[in-house]
Amino acid sequence: MNVTQALHEQGQSNWLDNITYSMLDTGQIQHYIDQYSVTGLTSNPSIFDKAIGSGDYDDAIRAKAARGPKGEELFFELAIEDLQRAADLFLPIHERTDGVDGWVSLEVSPLLAYDTQRTVAAAKALYARADRRNLFLKIPGTPEGPPAIEEVIASGVPVNVTSGASSSARCLLSRSSRARERDRT
């Protein structure tokens, strides 16, 4: 038994902080699930930037760019395709654990970090486009984050708050979370 399997046996959720086209195509992510008890996957723009810069995406970029998407729209098309494939790999874990594990995550554009309404709209749109129930949308924990997070969660979209939240934003998120729990009981 390796270290990550031992941690998993103790109840630890092991998440992979990386995704690339080649990791999906070669079965490397499935290997991590099977051999290292990886139970989820997180991504962010810098992870995808590094992956896309590797050359593995050149053909896909050319084909998509010929259809019209550019810049951030092209980025999200590529990211969503990869994350859909990853979500499908993690879905059996998600089902087996009743949603405790088996998640993948996609971050809304960091350019929206200080715009509550555009963050809400983007999170809902990305979740609908991805069409995977085991996909979290990562929303920045900026001062504008808590109302966006509340609204997105209320609409049924799973949310993961990204790091870097200010102490006041963390306090607001904590209060918001406690209020939601009271409302459920």
Neighbour order of strands in the sheet with 103-107: 14-16, 38-41, 103-107, 135-140, 159-162
Catalytic residue among 50, 64, 124, 138: 138
Give yes or no: 50 in active site. Answer: no
Torsion (CA) 124, 127, 131, 134 in degrees, nearest 10: -130
Give CA–CA dist 90/29, Å, rounded.
9
Give the separation between CA 134 and CA 136, rounded to whole angstroms.
7
Residue 112: DSSP 8-state: G
Q: Residue 140 in contact with residue 162, Cβ under 8 Å?
A: yes
Residue with the two structure tokens 């050149």: 58
List C-alpha distances in Å: 118 to 7, 13, 44, 82, 110.
39, 32, 18, 24, 11
Any idea which residues carry the catalytic annotation?
138
